[in-house]
Structure 1
Amino acid sequence: MAWEEWERAKAQVADQPATRMQLNQYPADQGGDGTQGDLVASQKDLQAVGTAAHDLFEDFTTYSGHARVASEAAAGGLKGEGFALGGALEHVTERWSEQTRTLLDACAHISNHLRFTKNQHAADDSYIAGAVSSIATLDEGFDDRKGH
C-alpha cells in the first residue's frame, strides 16, 4: 500500500461517525419463569446422574467381567489349537479390559465428584449462613447504638 492510499484510508475512516460497541444478548422478553437460558441443575437431577453413573459402574463391572472371562477362555482355546485367531482374540480381550477400566474409572469419578460437590455446597451454605447471621448480629449492635 502506497503512502497516499494509507492517508486516504485514514481520512475515510475519520469522516465516518464514531463506532459504538454493542453487546449481543439474549432477548429479555421470552415468557416463562424468566430462567430460560440459565443453567439450572436441581439436587434431583444431580442425584439421577450420580445414580446412573453408580448403576453403570456396578452393572458394567459384572457384565464386562463375564465377557472378559469368556473371551480369554476362547482365545486360550484357539491359541492352544494353533489358530492365529486366538492371538487376535487375546489382543482384543486385553484392549477390552483397558477400555473397561477407563469407563469404570470415569463412572466412579462422576459419582465421587457429585458426592463431593453436594458435601462442599452444604459446607458453603453453612458457612454463608454463619457469616450472614454474624452480619445481622453486628447490624443489631449498630441499631442499638443509634437508639432504635
Structure 2
Amino acid sequence: MAWDEWEQIKADGAARQSTSTRLNQLAAAAGGSRAGKPDMASSPAAKKAAAKAIDDDLEPGVTRDGKHAAEATKAAVKAFGAKDGHGWDTSGALKRAHETWEKQVEMLLGRLSSEKQALSATGISLQNNELDIAARLARQSRIQGI
C-alpha cells in the first residue's frame, strides 16, 4: 500500500468519525434533542416493526443457520475422527468448540426473544406509567374539588 493511499484512508476515517454519533459526548443542549429530533429512538410503529423483524427474520435465520452449522461440524468431526484407532486431535477440538458455539447460539436466541418482548411491551409500559401518574396527580389535585 502506498503512503498516499494510507493517508487517504486515515483522512476518510477521520471524516466518518467526525460525522458519526460519538458515545463520549453530551447530548445537545437544545431541550435534549439534536437538530429538532426528539430523544425517543423510535415510534411505537418502529418498535412493532423491529419486534416483527426479530420474529420473522432473525430468530428463524439463527435457528436455520445454527442447524446447518451443526450438521457441517458433525460431519467434520466424523471425518477427522478415529477410523482405525487413529484420529486427528482436530476432531476433539472441533467438537468442544462447537459445543461452546451451540451455547452461544442458544444465548443469542434467548436475547432476541427478550428484546422482542421488550419492544412489544414498551408502549404498554409507558402508557401504564402515564395513567398511574395521572391517577396520582388527580388524587392530589386541589383543583378537582373546586
Q: Give the structure-2-normalised TM-score.
A: 0.58
Report the counterpart of residue 77 of structure 1 in structure 2.
79
Match of 1:80, SS?
Answer: coil
Structure with the larger helix share: 1
Q: Percent identity?
A: 23
In angstroms, what is the RMSD of aligned CA positions? 3.2
Match of 2:81, SS?
Answer: helix
Correspondence 1:36 to 2:36: yes
- Tell me, in whole angstroms, the C-alpha distance in 2 between the residues paired with 1:108 and 1:25: 31
Shift of residue 140, structure 1, vs aligned partner: 5.5
Report the counterpart of residue 128 of structure 2 in structure 1.
123
Distance 1:80 1:59, change over 3 A: same
- Give a deviation string over 1:70-105, Cα, whole Å, max 9, x none: 312321332133122212221221122122122112
Shift of residue 124, structure 1, vs aligned partner: 2.6
Matched-pair contact (CA < 8 Å) for 2:51–2:119: yes
Report the counterpart of residue 69 of structure 2 in structure 1.
67
Matched-pair contact (CA < 8 Å) for 1:53–1:111: yes
Gaps of 5+ in 1: 1-23, 143-148
Which has the greater radius of gyration?
Answer: 1
Q: Give the structure-1-normalised TM-score.
A: 0.58
- Tell me, in whole angstroms, the C-alpha distance in 2 between the residues paired with 1:57 and 1:111: 10
Count of aligned pairs between the two proteins: 114
Correspondence 1:46 to 2:47: yes
Matched-pair contact (CA < 8 Å) for 1:76–1:90: no
Shift of residue 106, structure 1, vs aligned partner: 1.7
